[in-house]
Amino acid sequence: MREITYREALREALREEMERDETVFLMGEDIADPFGSAYKVTLGLSPQFGTERVRQTPISEQGFVGAGVGAAVTGMRPVVEIMYIDFATMAMDQIANQAAKLRYMSGGQAKVPLVIRTQGGPGRSSAAQHAQSLEAWFAHIPGLLVAMPSTPYDAKGLLKTAIRLDDPVVFIEQKLLYNTEGPVPEEEYTLPFGEADVKREGSDCTVVATSMTVLKALKAADILEREGISVEVVDPRTLFPLDIETITASVCKTSRVVVTHEAVERCGFGAEIVAQIAQTAFGYIDAPIQRVCAPSVPPPFAQHMEAFTMIDEHKIADRVRRLVTGEL
């Protein structure tokens, strides 16, 4: 199977859905050529589809997200790009009070087929206002679906599904994933929301990881394999709906679990996963559930300080190692 980048997989998903359905259009800052958005995901789409369907917007998240909500309610399928997830703070009324609530408040009469593509996470010295991991905010809001793909295959399949859904989706990408490569079929496919993926089978400990930390967890599993410790890595892929059944099955098999994500630990989405594991698999757990998350500080600008706060394979491996050997 061919291998393409995460960025190319997203671009293919957008192109295929725009070719398939003329109601699909894009909005965002600098998304048309020659820029093709901040991370070049939409590069080449405006020459093909024109500026009516690849719409440049002013620097006003409040305005263009609101326009996206209105377009979705009136029959279009907009894909709105917020350049950084931090900037979603400017449009939280449109996202949390309008898009998320309209179907419920209309008794199901209104549909809101809106996708909000955005990216978060540290790794490029983007500092405190451009590198946060705010996925827990959106997963907390009834009416929103939340996806966090970790591979090119998942990114393409989930984005195509998101565009076809009749409910608003917050689709979160990580800036360091765009250049990563992986196998992606050339033929048509979609992936369902609410279906986790076991990225690696193991028997001694389950690591539940999201987005960029999935790659770090797989590296940690390689490190620990050389020490005789077998790690199973589970990627939820979507935070809501959450496939707790697959996670529970893994924990029941391994009897130990570490949950990891790039967001700060306090009130991070990992706490929800831990709570649900405690409810569904308590009798199978042989050791305290662990979390490997960022400390409760804003993302630093200085590279050495940012690296200190980031999750890496060594931090995950250390926690798993101590859990399995009984040091915790």
Annotated catalytic residues are 61, 130
| Residue 38, burial from CB neighbour count under 10 angstroms (0-12, 13-18, 19+) | middle
- State CA 128 to chain mean position distance: 19
Helix (H) or strand (E) holding 44: none
Q: Provide DSSP, 179-233.
A: T-EEE--SS-----TT--EEEE--SSEEEEE-THHHHHHHHHHHHHHTTT--EEE
Which residues are bridge partners to 116 per DSSP?
80, 170
Q: Indicate the SS3 state at residue 143.
A: coil
Q: How far apart are CA 176 and CA 279, in angstroms?
A: 34
Cβ count within 10 A of residue 318:
16
**Tokens 């949390």 correspond to what residue?**
96
